[in-house]
Amino acid sequence: MGVWRLKFVQTEKDCDEDKVLSKMEEKMFPDRMARGIAIDLLTDDKPLSDLLKTAASEVANTYKDVSNTGVLADYIFRRFAGGIRAESKHDEDVLNQLGIDEEYAERILLQCAGRMDVVLRKQKHKEAGVTHYRWSTSGDGRVCERCRKLDGKKISWNKPPPGGHPGECGTCKEGYCRCVAVPELDPLL
Ligand SMILES: [Zn+2]
Ligand SMILES: [Zn+2]
């Protein structure tokens, strides 16, 4: 993040450094759903919410044992957009419609978090002209072998490594990847 900050500051010489950075980071890197911070930028960003809705549908469709994947997709989207933690109380009504229990709903939402997060990140980076990111794992024992090898590597959004971008890894323990894409600015900028 240090290099990124330095480069960013160079292009914004006349602005109050800290203020610009915090505003920019707030906009570009809304915290992950897992940390329970709401992503209110969705309210006036239709293209982004459409992208996230599509992602939610795709993820929901992979749960063949859930009776209504449309309801599940909508639920995944609403929880993500609202920054609601996977562990937070689930909507009884929705659970009934889906025919699943609280524990399973929590697991599904944990599994979806990374896949939703990467869509949001990719779009935000694109808007800011960020073409590459640096792979960042959670750095604990639950990180899979593949993600561990990618940690710290600079990667193009256009060229995902085999197995996908951070959040999309299918070999992570417990069925979900907690890695994130940290923005990298072009060294020539
Ligand atoms: Zn992994
Ligand atoms: Zn990972």
Dist. CA 172–CA 152, nearest whole Å: 17
- The ligand with the least distance to the CA atom of 145 is 1
More confident residue, 153 or 40: 153
Strand order of the β-sheet with 154-156 is 154-156, 132-136, 180-184
Residue 32, pLDDT > 60, answer no
Dist. CA 185–CA 157, nearest whole Å: 12
Q: What percent of the chain has pLDDT over 70?
A: 75
Residue 108, pLDDT > 50, answer yes
Average pLDDT, the chain: 81
What confidence category does residue 186 fall into, taking pLDDT thresholds of 50, 70 and 90? low
Q: What is the torsional sign of CA 78, 81, 82, 87?
A: positive
What is the model's pTM? 0.76
Query: Which protein residues have their CB within 5 A of the ion that is ligand 1?
Result: 144, 146-147, 169, 172, 177
In this prediction, residue 47 carries a pLDDT of: 87
In this prediction, residue 83 carries a pLDDT of: 85
147 CA from centroid of ligand 1 (Å): 4
Concatenated DSSP letters of 10-60 = HHTTTS-HHHHHHHHHHHH-PPPGGGT---GGGTT-HHHHHHHHHHHHHHH
Dist. CA 184–CA 23, nearest whole Å: 17
Concatenated DSSP letters of 73-86 = HHHHHHHHHTT--T
For 114-148, the pLDDT digits (tens) are 999 999 999 989 988 899 999 999 999 899 999 99
3-state secondary structure at position 156 = strand
Closest to 104 (Cα-Cα) out of 67, 78, 56, 51: 67
Arithmetic mean of pLDDT, 60-76: 95
Residue 16, pLDDT > 80, answer no
